[in-house]
Amino acid sequence: MTDATNPDIRRIDTGPRMSDAVVYNGMVWLAGQVGTPGKSVAEQTADALAEVDALLEKAGSDRSRILQAIIWLADMADFAEMNSVWDKWVVPGHTPARATGEAKLASPEYRVEVIVTAAVKP
């Protein structure tokens, strides 16, 4: 969706509160992606990363072009479990700048949330 008042800004999967992604000036910002509530941290991480892949594709990017990732965990005790999935997913040699922290997420059933910023393909 192109913003009528700002035609150089493209919003992806726009809702009344937020867009899942926003593309501007060769960059894409993704909203936080979460997995299916009730699943393990590893499964929720895999789900969230699959959503990241899908949104990056819609934006004209991919995981090799991620510049920064911010990962929120409901409990830092789940750091190793989340990383077991992340480390298999991330592109070797193209790892982004990353921060991971503990936060109270939108619902107690969510264990992990992934937020990324990436460059679009030229």
Longest dimension (CA), the chain: 45
pLDDT at 6: 76
pLDDT digits over 1-39, tens only?
666 677 899 999 999 999 999 999 999 999 999 999 999
Q: How far apart are CA 34 and CA 93, in angstroms?
A: 25
Q: Per CATH, the architecture of 2-119 is what?
A: 2-Layer Sandwich (3.30)
pLDDT at 1: 61
Whole-model pTM over 0.85:
yes
* Amino acid letter for position 93: G
Contacts of 78 (CB under 8 A, 6+ apart): 41, 111, 112
93: which DSSP letter?
A: T
Q: How far apart are CA 12 and CA 23, in angstroms?
A: 8
Contacts of 75 (CB under 8 A, 6+ apart): 102, 111
